[in-house]
Amino acid sequence: MLLQPLDWLFIIAFFVMAMVVGIIVSKQAGKNPTQFFLSGRNMPWWLLGVSMVATTFSTDTPNLVTDIVRQNGVAGNWIWWAFLLTGMLTVFVYAKLWRRSAVMTDLEFYELRYSGPAAAFLRAFRAVYLGVLFNVFVMATVTLAAIKIGWVMFGFSPARTVTIAAIVTVSYTVLGGLRSVLLTDFLLFIIAMTGAVAAAVVSLNHEAVGGLTAMLTHPRVADKLSILPAFDLSTTETRNTLLSILIIPIAVQWWAAWYPGAEPGGGSYIAQRMLAAKNEKNAMGATFLFNAAHYALRPWPWIIVALCSLIVYPDLASLHDAFPQVSSEMLKHDLAYPAMLTFLPTGLLGMVVASLIAAYMSTISTHLNWGSSYLVNDFYKRFICPNAAEKHLVLVGRISTALLMAAACLLAYFLQSAEQAFRLIIQIGAGTGLLFLLRWFWWRINAFSEITAMVVSFVIACCFELAPEESALSSLEDWQKLLIGVTFTTSAWLFITFLTRPTDDSTLRSFYRLVQPGGPGWKVVLQRAEADNDTIELSGKKWDLPTGILSMFFGCLAVYSALFATGYWIYANKLPAAILSAVAVTSTALLIKTWTSLDIR
């Protein structure tokens, strides 16, 4: 495709805007690590919430959704829709606890909650494991999507695509830190959403599609529209589909598996945003806005493009015929999304390309700043150079940002599809989620519990990934692998928890005094403190976890109802659309009532 002058005007204007923001805030961001990584802990909920949404609005997300819809229909999205449950639990239970902790990163939590050399080791190891290895892997999947878009739309080589993307993204992230990321994300989200809607409209107007009504009745699309998978247990194939798409994600995956942006109890860049909030109220508001927009607002434009792609490119062979320059290793169903964008007219093409660049940059910039915060605060400052000056730490953060980007670009060459990466990440985190939920409310969990969960889940994931194709392990379904990983990992860390000594009493009391989690899981610690005349229960208010869980229920009901109501309105199925719209409004009213009764400082 050839970009016309108007298209280039959109793209250049976007690049200039991002760089200007980075330059403007660079002086303030360079003052100290708190400014560079947390924007001074003074950010409002709406800016943080939009930044979270923009971060998860990456170039690989529409590709992933397209891959899912083409293979498993709209209902296949339950594999990630189920994460709304853990997202809402984070909003109403964990967001305020994170903000009370006042840590710089979520890894600093380890030495706040646990004690001894094991806590220090856990913090250092996860700084490298998550900040470098895992973070680079996630950024590589996003860069893979950028490579495919560059290949399909412009015939760019992978090297050319990643070079352009890396230079611009690293530049403004290095200059302005998190503040630059937040401000740019706000504009990036508007551009990205506009581009996604424009892509859906153009796809529907494609001559082979013929509009919304024709698309919905097309034989290649009609059997893909159901929002719920068929409850058919008559065959092994349909039973496995139901279990992998809906049952396991809703029953197990949301609380048992760790995934970036949907961590049980919050973590990574979600925790970073909560820690950057003005107060607990803003931390909760930001996380709620993120979950509402992430699940209820964004999916349908992507889904529409994916459904249209089934008409224009019904199979991989048709994609290969249209784009023979794409290597066979990367020719997967996720390629259909950028393929549909090749039909955009001049002007609109430039805007949509800018939106894709925006999606890429918002995600990568967040991961760069978040990963760099781990390396600087939880590894370099804590273990290498504890007396380093604040401006020196900012410099180290900027250097590590550039190195992380280089590593992600290199790894992207070895990946093949977005869904492949998604499933691998889910498997690596299988079984760790329950620990992340309970460690705030059960005093007995210690550093060895977390080390065990991390090691066992990783080993099991490697066994599945590296098993020979003819072996029994390779023949297992993805949901079976997840259950095995959850069962063994959870059993292992629970066993080690009771086998090893608990965290020092002084550390437990200090943590409770600061965070005030409450509940029967801290009864032993409270009784010991009372016997020593050491007051650690400060709030004097009733434990509000039950109210938080009730708020979580109403929040999920409101967002799911809005998501599915939107779908049924698109399908012109008015009765369920109207009913679900009413449910969304009612559950939102009930949510407001329960939300106001929570203990928020």
Q: Quick check: is 126 in a domain?
A: yes
Q: Residue 594: pLDDT band by 50, 70, 90 thresholds?
A: very high
Q: Does residue 409 contact residue 397 with C-beta atoms inside 8 Å?
A: no
pLDDT digits (tens, 9 = 90+) for 29-51: 556 677 777 777 888 999 999 98
What is the rounded CA–CA span in Å between residue 210 and residue 80? 30
Question: For the segment 181-209, what is each residue's pLDDT rounded down to a tens digit?
Answer: 777 778 878 887 888 898 899 999 999 99
Q: Which of 428, 456, 477 is at the close of a domain?
A: 428
User: What pTM does this model have?
Assistant: 0.87
Report which DSSP code applies to 43.
Answer: B
Residue 33 located in a structural domain: no
**What confidence tier does 570 reach under pLDDT thresholds 50, 70, 90?**
very high
The answer as to whether 26 is a domain residue is no
d(CA 565, CA 228): 13
DSSP string, 428-486: HTBTTHHHHHHTTT-TT--HHHHHHHHHHHHHHHHHHHHS-TTSTTTTS-HHHHHHHHH
**Other C-beta atoms lying within 10 Å of the C-beta of residue 499:** 10
Mean pLDDT of 245-272: 86
Query: Residue 257's beta-bridge partner residues?
Result: 430
d(CA 425, CA 412): 15
Question: What is the separation of C-alpha 579 from the centre of its chain, rounded to a whole number of angstroms?
Answer: 30
Query: Higher confidence at residue 593 or residue 402?
Result: 593
- Alpha helices for 293-432 (secondary structure H): 299-312, 316-322, 336-340, 348-373, 390-412, 418-428
Q: How far apart are CA 51 and CA 179, in angstroms?
A: 10
Tokens of 448: 């060895």
Res. 236: pLDDT tops 70: yes
* CA–CA dist 557, 193 (Å, integer): 24
Report whether pLDDT(1) > 70.
no
The reported pLDDT for the residue numbered 283 is 93
Q: How far apart, in whole angstroms, are the C-alpha atoms of residue 60 and residue 301? A: 15
First-to-last C-alpha distance (Å) of the chain: 54
Provide the number of structural domains found in the chain: 2
Which of 149-158, 191-200, 486-495 tops mean pLDDT? 486-495
**Domain-embedded: residue 422:** yes
Same domain, yes or no, for 554 and 407? no
Winning range, highest mean pLDDT, from 104-108, 265-269, 442-446, 534-538: 442-446
Cβ neighbourhood burial of 390 (10 Å; 0-12, 13-18, 19+): middle
Flag whether pLDDT at 434 surpasses 70. Answer: yes
Question: Hey, what amino acid is at 569?
Answer: W
Local structure of residue 251 (DSSP, 8 states): I
Instruction: List CB contacts of 516: < 8 A, sequence separation 6 or more.
Output: 100, 537, 538, 539
Question: Which of 428, 463, 483 is at the close of a domain?
Answer: 428
Residue 570's domain comprises 547-601
Q: For the domain that residue 395 is a member of, what is the CATH number?
A: 1.20.1730.10
| Residue 22 pLDDT | 65
Where a domain ends, among 412, 428, 444? 428
Length of the chain: 601
Whether the pLDDT of residue 412 is over 80: the answer is no
Say if residue 415 is in the same domain as residue 558.
no
3-state SS track over 124-137:
HHHHHHHHHHHHHH
Q: Among residues of the chain, what percentage have pLDDT more than 70?
A: 93
Q: What is the pLDDT of residue 424?
A: 66
Residue 50: what are its φ and ψ, rounded to 5°? Answer: -65, -35
pLDDT at 32: 67
pLDDT at 462: 82
Distance CA 536, CA 512 (A): 7
CA 352, CA 7: separation in Å to the nearest integer? 9
Residue 497 lies inside a defined structural domain of this protein: no
521 burial level (CB within 10 Å; 0-12, 13-18, 19+): middle
Comparing CA positions, the residue from 320, 368, 360 lying closest to residue 144 is 360
Residue 111 falls inside a structural domain: yes
Question: Considering the domain boundaries, does residue 151 fall inside one?
Answer: yes
Angle 348-373/268-275 helices, nearest 10 degrees? 80
d(CA 555, CA 548): 10
The answer to whether the beta carbons of residues 289 and 49 sit under 8 Å apart is yes
Residue 418's pLDDT band (cuts 50, 70, 90): low
Same domain, 333 and 204: yes
Q: Does residue 61 sit within a domain? A: yes
